[in-house]
Structure 1
Amino acid sequence: MTSALHDEPPRSAAVPHPPRRFLQSARPVARGLVRRRYDVRVHRAERVPAAGPVILAANHIGVLDGPLLAAFSPRAVHALTKHEMFEGRTGRFLRRSGQIPVDRFHTDPRAIRTCLRVLRDEGVVGVFPEGTRGDGELHRFHHGAAYLALVTGAPVVPVVILGSREPGGGIDSTPTRGSTIDLVYGDPWTTERRAWPRRTGMVRDSSALLRERLRETLDEARSLTGRDLPGPLPAGEYEDDPDTGFVDRGA
């Protein structure tokens, strides 16, 4: 992509690229620390394009998912992270490592433009379309990943994470020491880059196709690893999440 794309709507020329140096240097250290506690197995990572813009779209079952995606992705990832996390020491670390704060309950133009900045600079953006932690079955599916793909034409690579929360574990629980965690990358999903305006129906239809690709990757991950998702969170431990995108009622 060229710098001229930053001037296309939504414009991203005035938004700085998130910090990259610390993210790049910290990833080997992070992988080493995580592997001292867990057996992390990465499958089909060659499906992530080695160059150019990429969107990683992952299921979300546990508190470790973001750090796992950032540390073990073949390329450095700037992940959308709920803005509530950007406080105190954790917030300073997230900002220094180039993660992108997002307000899940209101339209957040800066988060969108920051993602576009990364993609138009041929970087990698990470998205959790479910919005918040849950059973990982993709009952909820927000449209952000599909929208970014429509704006930029970047391929979306599905990622299925298994083992980052054990069955019955709470929303902030982590697996026991020595547990195996699997990250499975799916075949990239692509859509044609669409010029402004990108209408609601276009985004919704593209998001439906992407959701189906993630579900196919989930089936592949189950077959490949012989494992399954941890099931629902305990009663009362679900986070609030806006009813945007697809929501399977009663699931």
Structure 2
Amino acid sequence: MTDRKVPSRWGPRWSRWVGRFMAKVVWRTEVRHVGRLPRSGAVIVVANHIGIADGPLLHGVIPRGSYFLIGGHMMEGVLGRILRAAQQITVEGSGREALAQGLAVLKRGDVVGVFPEGTRGGGEAESVHGGAAWLAVRSGAPVLPVAILGTRLPGESVHAWPKLGRRMLMDFGEAHALDIPQELKGRARQAWAAERVAEVLRDHLAAVQQTTSLELPRDDPRGLRAANDAQEA
């Protein structure tokens, strides 16, 4: 990989302050245990994904520059121009180029953010993709889970921004080295890592939910989209 393909550190230097303003001024975001994020070195932050505000807010409350893997459909229009200027990583097609860029960021000693569910949903991380695990296997970076609650409530559209002033929560878990069994090779190694990443995130989500009145939406976003489409027809 050439240096020109590695996202610049300049983008997060300004964009994280935009996210922080949104988290603390536009909405009331409680941030717990952020000190668990290592102050230096490569880290893969994984979080559940329930609403459109998740990415900007998490980018803002992480106390270091971070680079999130973001679907290409979000890179359109004004929002897309902002995300590109912030040097966030576009996921297109098979995602191989995005993973290569994420790996380069980790090798540089920076923070990569991944929503392993791949799309906004009920937030329980029941089904996760293997991108974060792939990055962890190849970089050796620890995985740090973050539980997000309040950015979307049951029945709200996955496309809608939260109401101004809403209370939200972002709780940082402990960083985990995957410690993959040495006897595992190839696809078995990747599969083990993917399940371990999912387990780390689910366990943290379950623990955090015992400490707050905020609840996950736990709804089917596909059903919400179908209902919204029917109303618009």
Pair 1:89 & 2:83 matched: no
Q: Tell me if the contact between 1:158 and 1:188 (Cα under 8 Å) persists in the aligned partners.
A: yes
Partner of 1:134: 121
Specify which structure has the higher proportion of helix.
Answer: 2
- For 1:152-191, list aligned pairs within 5 A: 152-191=139-178
Between Structure 1 and Structure 2, how many residues are aligned? 225
Q: Which moved more, 1:213-222 or 1:50-59?
A: 213-222
Q: 1:66 to 1:226 in 2, by over 3 A?
A: same
CA distance in 1, matches of 2:225, 2:141: 32
CA distance in 2, matches of 1:137, 1:234: 13
Q: 9, 17, 37: which is aligned to 1:28?
A: 17
Q: 223, 226, 231: which is aligned to 1:236?
A: 223
Partner of 1:102: 91
CA distance in 2, matches of 1:193, 1:212: 14
Structure 1: segments with no counterpart, 5+ residues: 1-11, 240-251
Q: What letter matches 1:172 in structure 2?
A: H
Question: Deviation of residue 194 (structure 1)?
Answer: 10
Q: Tell me if the contact between 2:67 and 2:88 (Cα under 8 Å) persists in the aligned partners.
A: yes
Partner of 1:68: 57
Q: 1:238 to 1:133 in 2, by over 3 A?
A: farther
Partner of 1:204: 191
Question: Deviation of residue 109 (structure 1)?
Answer: 2.2
**Secondary structure of the structure 1 residue equivalent to 2:49:** coil
Deviations 1:105-146 (A, max 9, x none): x42321111001100000110000000000011121111111
CA distance in 2, matches of 1:234, 1:30: 25
Q: Give the aligned CA root-mean-square deviation in angstroms.
A: 2.2
CA distance in 1, matches of 2:96, 2:18: 33
CA distance in 1, matches of 2:180, 2:94: 22
Deviations 1:162-220 (A, max 9, x none): 0000121111123322211100111112124899x961111111111221111110012
Question: Deviation of residue 13 (structure 1)?
Answer: 4.0
CA distance in 1, matches of 2:87, 2:208: 29
Q: Tell me if the contact between 1:39 and 1:180 (Cα under 8 Å) persists in the aligned partners.
A: yes
CA distance in 2, matches of 1:233, 1:178: 25
Q: Tell me if the contact between 1:151 and 1:194 (Cα under 8 Å) persists in the aligned partners.
A: no
Structure 2: segments with no counterpart, 5+ residues: 227-233
Partner of 2:38: 49
Question: Deviation of residue 21 (structure 1)?
Answer: 1.5
Question: Deviation of residue 31 (structure 1)?
Answer: 1.6
